[in-house]
A and B are shown apart, each in its own frame.
Chain A
Amino acid sequence: MYNETTHDGHAAHDEHDHHGPAKGLMRWVTTTNHKDIGTLYLWLSFTMLLYGGSMAMVIRLELFQPGLQWVEPHFFNQMTTMHGLVMVFGAIMPAFVGLANWLIPIMIGAPDMALPRMNNWSFWILPFAFAMLASTTLMESGAPAFGWTFYAPLSTTFAPDSTDFFIFAVHLMGISSVMGAINVIATILNMRAPGMTLMKMPLFVWTWLITAYLLIAVMPVLAGAVTMMLTDRHFGTSFFDAAGGGDPVMFQHVFWFFGHPEVYIMILPAFGVISAIVPTFARKPLFGYSSMVYATASIAILSFMVWAHHMFTTGMPVAGELYFMYATILISVPTGVKVFNWVTTMWKGSMTFETPMLWALGFIVMFTIGGFSGLMLGVAPVDTQYHDTYFVVAHFHYVLVTGALYSIIAAFYYWVPKWTGHMYDEKLGKIHFWWSTIAVNVLFFPQHFLGLAGMPRRIPDYSLQFAEFNMISSIGGFAFGLAQVFFLYIVIKTIKGGPKASDRVWEGATGLEFEQLPSPPPYHSFTEAPVVK
Chain B
Amino acid sequence: MRSRASRWSPAIVVLHWINAALILALLALGWVMTHSPFGAGTTFDLYQQHKSLGFAALALTALRLAARLASAAPARVSGWEGLVARAVQAAFYVLTLAAIAAGWLVVSASPLPVPTKFFGLIVIPNIAPPDATLFALGVLAHWIAAYAIAALVALHVAGALKHHWIDRDDTLKRMLPRR
Q: Do A and B bind each other?
A: no
Binding site for A on B (CB under 8 A): none
